[in-house]
Amino acid sequence: MHSKKRWICLIVAMFAFCVAPAGVSAADKLIKIGGLYPMTGRAGLYGKDSVAAAEIAINEINAKGGAAGYKIDATFNDSKVKAAYAIRVAKRYISEDKVNFLFGVVSSGVGLAVTEVSKQEKKIFIGTDHASTRLTVDNFQPYYFRVSNNTFQSMASGALYLQELKKTKPWKTIAFIGPDYSYGHSQFDEIKYSLERLGVEFKVVGEYWPKIYAPDYTSYITSILNDKPDVLVSGFWGGDTVAFIKQAQAFGLFNKMTYFHPDAGGNYELMSAMGDELPLGLILGARHYNNWPNTEQNKNFVKNFKALTGRYPTYAAEGAYAGIYAIAAAVEKVGNPDDTEALIKALEGLKIKLPEDPDGFTSYINPETHQMIQTQAIGVTVANKDFPPATRMLGNWKVYKAEDLVPPSDYIKMKRKK
């Protein structure tokens, strides 16, 4: 009888183990991420690179046991660079897939749409690439965090560069060309604000607003040549940058003015697409470079990406890589991916060493804006065949301290009040 009771107890115990609630088994302990990136068209390469880099980070983290015992499980869908479509996918991620985090995107227009879903559904959205400052200043909301620099940081470093340039190559007038939506307009407003804040004298002699993915810039190039700025500030990104520079080159534009493109001009896809056709001496910036900083972490990131994809990464890849590591660090600190409010606190002020960080600096998230604060470098196109098919890369770097590129509190308050 005693033996029979013991056997029954054993069976009951085994049954209880088998029907344990979901989430107890290690196999069920997942951090679910819903990602949105463009996969086709001019922005498609950014999406493909972002997914590849995210997968590298996920594999690295999962190979070490995950974060707080949770493995990362990410799903990626094509955003089609359409806000309405991205909103539907984001809502499906939340209602059907039960994701812990929204993740992506490339276009600021899509980012501004998805951040509203994030706010309404109280779901953390990790922005990995889009750069409009509106997401972290004007339209700030507590569930949004960005892990790559925004346009304010790029334009603040750009203003510092132009201030120095006056000493060696005196200039008086500027013109601006950029896409006619939030991303372009943010850059124009911020370069003017930053120059005025530094006390740099300048006059705007023209502003030009083509639509995103415009096929022909001839009329704009003609207007720019007629307006004769000393410096042309460009706010394009991706394939639009390539198309504009190719067309402007045919008109001899770069022989008549300084071309200055501090946010997304120095992206690797420009170098790889143009080869020897890319003019030397263009002043460009980006959010990540394959050849700067010369740290082991950055070299390993570039090498691992090349090994996986067979190509060198565009800047968007490092943003996605950073986003996965930021999520893992927050979950590790909190102990689980379900306590959203605790995760927000963990992300605010989070310090994380990233491939784009030079020696002696670690990126961190500003609690006031939920914006990653990072060092910024601007370079000049020089001959360099170390990253084929590119035959030009950036060199002659000027590096700006992260703390000098943060919008002041009165600027943030003014923008949010508006």
Q: 328: which 2 tokens?
A: 């893992």
Q: How are beta strands 371-373 and 363-366 bridged, if at all?
A: antiparallel
Same domain, 145 and 258: no
For residue 17, is it within any domain? no
pLDDT of residue 299: 98
What is the reported pLDDT for 105?
A: 95
Same domain, 144 and 255: no
The answer on 67 and 208 residing in a single domain is no
Find the angle CA(355)-CA(361)-CA(364) to the nearest 5 degrees: 80
Domain CATH number, residue 263: 3.40.50.2300
Among 214, 173, 231, 149, which residue's Cα sits nearest to residue 404?
Answer: 149
251 and 181 in one domain?
yes
Distance of CA 210 to the CA centre of its chain: 23
DSSP 8-state code for residue 67: B
Is 3 inside any structural domain? no
Same domain, 198 and 228: yes
282/389 same-domain check: yes
Determine the structural domain holding residue 246 and report its residue range. Answer: 152-286+376-417
CA 299 to chain centre: 19
**Residue positions counted in the chain:** 418
**Same domain assignment for residues 130 and 169:** no
Residues 122 and 34 in one domain: yes
pLDDT (0 to 100) of residue 27? 59
Domain match, 75 and 111 both? yes
CA-to-CA distance for 157 and 381, rounded, in angstroms? 17
Q: Are 271 and 278 in contact (CB under 8 A)?
A: yes
> Is the residue at 272 inside a domain?
yes
11 within domain boundaries: no
Q: What is the phi/psi pair of residue 246, to 5°? A: -60, -45
Are 252 and 319 within one domain? no
> 12 lies in a domain?
no
Alpha-carbon gap, residue 285 to 264, rounded angstroms: 6
16 in a domain, yes or no? no
pLDDT recorded at residue 26: 56
Residue 145 in any domain: the answer is yes
DSSP for 184-216, please give it: HHHHHHHHHHHHHHHT---EEEEEE-PPTT-S-
Q: What are the pLDDT tens digits along the chain (418 aa)?
A: 343 333 333 333 333 333 333 444 555 799 999 999 999 888 899 999 999 999 999 999 999 999 999 999 999 999 999 999 999 999 999 999 999 999 999 999 999 999 999 999 999 999 998 999 999 999 999 999 999 999 999 999 999 999 999 999 999 999 999 999 989 999 999 999 999 999 999 999 999 999 998 999 999 999 999 999 999 999 998 889 999 999 999 999 999 999 999 999 999 999 999 999 999 999 999 999 999 999 999 999 999 999 999 999 999 999 999 999 999 999 999 999 999 999 999 999 999 999 999 999 999 999 999 999 999 999 999 999 999 999 999 999 999 999 999 999 999 999 998 7
Are both 268 and 386 inside the same structural domain? yes
Same domain, 50 and 141: yes
Whether residue 106 lies inside any domain: the answer is yes
Number of domains in the chain: 2
